[in-house]
Amino acid sequence: MKIQPISTWQNGQQKQANNFVLSIVNDNLINACTFSYQLQDVIETIIPATETEPEQVIVNTDTLVTGNLSIGGQEYLDWDASPSANQWAYDWAAAQLNLVLIPETV
C-alpha cells in the first residue's frame, strides 16, 4: 500500500520509504495476532511502447525497514468484526507506525 514518503536510514544512508506491506505471521483466531511489516522504496520505470513491443513497467523494490506488530484485546475483536478487515488492519498498523496511507486509485 502506498504511503506518504518517510525518511529512514539504511546502511548509513538516508532513504525514502513510499510503500507499506503488512502480512500475518501468527493468528490464534481467538484474541491475538502478530503482523509482519515492511517499509519499502518502490520505483516504477515505464518503458514506452515501440512498434514491435508493448509498454513495459519495471518495478524495483528496496526493503528499508522490517518489524512486527501485535494486536490483542478489544482491538483484535474490532478487527475481527470489521466488514473490511484488510483495510482495518492496514489503518490500525499505519496508526501504530505514524504512517499516512495514500488511497489507491483505480
Domain definitions of the chain by residue range: 2-48+56-96
Kindly state the DSSP code that residue 84 receives in the 8-state scheme: T
- pLDDT for the residue 106: 62
- DSSP strands (E only) in 1-106: 2-10, 13-27, 32-47, 56-72
pLDDT 10s per residue in the chain (106 long)?
999 999 999 889 999 999 999 999 999 999 999 999 999 999 989 999 999 999 999 999 999 999 999 999 999 999 999 999 999 999 999 999 999 999 887 6
d(CA 8, CA 66): 12
Provide the whole-model pTM.
0.85
Among left, alpha and beta (phi > 0; psi -120 to 50; other), residue 44 is beta
- pLDDT for the residue 17: 97
